[in-house]
Structure 1
Amino acid sequence: MMQSIDLRGRTLDTLALRQLIPRPVVDVAVASAAARDLITDVADRGADALLEQADRFDGGRPASLRVDPADIDAAVASMDPSVRAALEEAIRRVRTASAAQVPSASRTELGDGAVVEQRWHPVDRVGLYVPGGKAVYPSSVVMNVVPALVAGVRSIALASPPQKEHGGRVHPTILAAAGLLGITEVYAMGGAGAIGAFAHGVPSIGLDPVDVVTGPGNVFVAAAKRLVKGLVGIDSEAGTTEILVIADDSADPRLVAFDLVSQAEHDEAAASLLVTDSERLARAVEDVLPSIAGATAHAERVRTALSGPQSAVVLVDDLAAGAAFSNVYGPEHLELQVADEDALLSLIHSAGAVFVGPSSPVSLGDYLAGSNHVLPTGGGARFASGLGAFTFLRPQQIVRYSEDALAAVADHIVALSTAEALPAHGEAVSARFPTPEAD
């Protein structure tokens, strides 16, 4: 079902490993041209473009792009009690974990009267995207909204695609999750167009431009976020999901197989990888995988994902080689199912989130771990982090120098400004200390 990549007996540098890493055939760059056209159309024509895109891509033109707050209240009132209880617990856990991500202000004294303060200030307004294609993601509402609230963001807008089966309205479970968190500005719009609307604003529906756009989505959403980066901030290009499991002979092959299937059910392009130094475990996982995949609700989707070029069983000489492979891959989700977890964890430095031990499956992180499930994909974990309260915070340095403290470094400033051929910089300092001759 899954392709095999045998790296045993080979010494590979980073470049060689990158060339061997399995990835989806379609990448973000391929979707950029289409995403650019959709964004430009929204920037030019606003609501009309969004309504036409809803017809083309979502199969349901909403009666109103902006959701009536009464509809949000109604969705909360009609929630399944068990779903509500689960969401409320998820909110509690994510809020607690997110609060730990807010740095404290600091004050550094560099000399008598020479002080640099650092504070962390929230952005003013954010646009949070919640996908709605092959599944419904109220958990993504929680993962987007809670860190923004914890960071102190003043204005929050949320977008999710209109659903054909709900008459062109946002899915009621998405609305209910938003309502539980006190979000009243919700829009029925999806895909690249929604990202463009957040970035440029749509005055006719009361949508003001935002400062930061966050949230997962398909390859067109990821491409759109790449295109608007610079006009607004983004969290990361969170595209199709990935799981990489590093396991040794101590791992339970059934649990490994279930975890690979759990992420493969997201999308046909989802990536599931097993990296192991145990040929016995690899064969055992391959033996049980077809029956587990075949028994799940989205069996056909899972089979397509597992048999695609982005999924593989990778055999390595030892766990150190497995860690090296994983670090180059930079997985969104990394599971460690090995006998010596801490030793392996010490070798890991590139992963969106790391799940340690057989009782910490990725599914836990998707919902109730307290960690955030909006994570970088496509190798982005090598240089980016997952969503957190820090995503919505900007560090600002505040400089406070007394006259004596400035005088102590004035000559150095003049010397450096002269060396850089920017004499006015030094003159601005010297002017504060006029000589008798100057008077």
Structure 2
Amino acid sequence: MATATGLLAAIADVGVDRVRGGYSRHGFDRDELALREWFVGEATARGLDVEVDRNGNIWAWWGRPGPDAVVTGSHLDSVPGGGAFDGPLGVVAALAAVDGLRARGFVPARPLAVVVFAEEEGGRFGVPCLGSRLLAGTIDPDAARRLRDRDGTTVADAARAAGLDPDRMGRDDEALGRIGQFVELHVEQGRGLVDLGRAVGVASTILAHGRWRFRFTGEGNHAGATPITDRHDPMLPASRLVLAARSAASALPGARATVGRLVPVPGGTNVIASTVDVWLDARAADDGTTRAVVADITAAAREAAAAEGCQVEVTEESYGDTVFFDPVLRDELAGLLGGAPALPSGAGHDAGILAARVPTAMLFVRNPTGISHAPAEHAEPADCEAGVDALVAVLAHLAGDGR
């Protein structure tokens, strides 16, 4: 019977980032495709029936696909230079849970499936939870098909190269209609369980959050030949935005605002940039606070751009309001797991997208570093297996006689 840590070890060499550290595995790139192939092999070896939906999500079925299924799983892609556990832990735990259930002689009374969602992190095309958003119909499929990576490859191009028909992408009511309940296991992205001394918890909410792109346009010129007084340098308002993000978030309790990516064009050391693109990630407990943070940052960006004789264009690339996980299912699972603590999540998840459509819950596994989206992300082997045991108990309860 496979263990979660053993399955993680089997993919440990895929997508190693020699420059950033950690892993860089992005939707439909070589490494993510290798992981998808690996998953199909593991699922097939367990006698699960595998299908890929029209949005690139992979489903592995134990029992005949049908309505009222119990579904678990996560994603295999990563942020640039991400950790080994964010996403893959939920996938390998699901496979290990299937092994654990079979070892107990369990036969599901309801269909049970393991799903791998496509492009959850948005590390390649910029929009997080792309596979689940397309499935649930929360993103326009034409807009999704037009998304481009840094090399100019569109989602449509990448999907086609992966053997999908991009023209069929979009809301999939048939797939949604099969899901009776969805449970995603995930490494905790924070220190809540460490502070509580617990190995496993359940999720209560996800912060309202979104991504915005600020494009500052100025005048490209020579770094040595252009006097300071003659410059319209978009890097100045871009840098002021970074500082404004920290200031605006600090002024509102619980708010977070981050600039993690900044791209000047043309990007030469001795060149005044003509444009600078800055991506802002903003989050807070509710929609009003999140929008207020972004409004303050936007006002500061516009003021700084005008002072430098530049223009700024602001584009909302993705947004999700506060997610409240199904309270009945949350409390049911917390009780089943011996009073597992309920914790809010500052990170987005595919479970958060599905929560508006189907009863959804999340299990968290303790992360001793509290770090995520970085190489130091970690979960101890014993805690990973505790997560598998918890998932076995949950799936047995939901897919057996627990209803």
TM range (shorter): under 0.3
Larger CA Rg, structure 1 vs 2: 1
The structure in which a higher percent of residues are strand is 2
TM-score (norm 2): 0.26
TM-score (norm 1): 0.25
